[in-house]
Amino acid sequence: MTQPDAPTTPHFRRLLLTGAAGALGQLLRARLQAHCDTLRLSDIAPLGEAGPGEELMPAALEDADAVHALLAGVDAVVHLGGVATEQPWAPILQANIIGVYHLYEAARRQGVKRIVFASSNHVTGFYRQDEVIDTRAPMRPDGLYGVSKAFGENLSRLYFDRHGIETVCVRIGSCFPEPKDRRMLATWLSADDLERLVIACLSAPVAGHTVIYGLSDNHTTWWDNRLAAHLGYRPHDSSEPFRAAALARQPVLDTTDPVVVFQGGGFVRIGPFE
């Protein structure tokens, strides 16, 4: 576990982590505790027993009353909750569209002023792998999941412009112990860098409405984060030590395959559009 780069990190009275039972939620559950008196954890999946400094509040994002209660007394939110892969429209609608609206309405009504929103690189998955884009590039989602995250980014923009709720939309790359394939040499985000990124998002004196790609300091990259430099995120890790293994697993690529051509990888071929 790492310490954030910022010389001083604010200590929150209560942080809310949604999606706390998921893979990334479990990574952050232990790491966020040092930055708050109370870490409120929520999910619809089992959360186990509450540890020291934790409180468990299961809530379905499509339940407006439950989400309103969930945000009571919260200083900031790390929102990982919702559908995290390409799925049929019905569950995406409930969790990622209706649910994120409930989250922002609850934040407005409860006076919460900063949210770290787990967006996705699949918001721009139909850019090619031979392109480098920044966050001003128009959204080109590669599926319904990407569309839902684009909606979340736009909704968070509205709530900043109209209500002053700061949001950092983190377009998460591929957060695994190591890159699984050649694509992940560009998209990989280490667990330690995920922590650094989230703490930077929470700690920045002024976040405004910012979009940032969640990736480590990889030699190969398709995403330019210079427009988010004010957050102070400085990745320490790199996919480079895993390059030889990734190349050995995929010695030959079919450059006519959309999975190889587009940044979204396999997501460009998943879903009801086949």
Which residues, including other chains, have CB under 8 Å from residue 117's CB and lie 6 or more apart? 79, 100, 152, 153, 156, 167, 168, 169, 170
CA distance 141 to 148: 9
Q: Domain boundaries in the chain? A: 12-269
Written as tens digits, the pLDDT of the chain (274 aa) is 554 444 456 789 999 999 999 999 999 999 999 999 999 999 999 999 999 999 999 999 999 999 999 999 999 999 999 999 999 999 999 999 999 999 999 999 999 999 999 999 999 999 999 999 999 999 999 999 999 999 999 999 999 999 999 999 999 999 999 999 999 999 999 999 999 999 999 999 999 999 999 999 999 999 999 999 999 999 999 999 999 999 999 999 999 999 999 999 999 998 765 5
Instruction: Pinpoint the alpha helices (H) of 58-216.
Output: 64-70, 89-92, 99-110, 144-163, 184-187, 191-203
Tokens 């039972």 identify what position?
21
State the catalytic residues.
Answer: 145
Question: Residue 192 corresponds to which amino acid?
Answer: D
What is the CATH class of 12-269?
Answer: alpha beta
pTM (predicted TM-score): 0.94
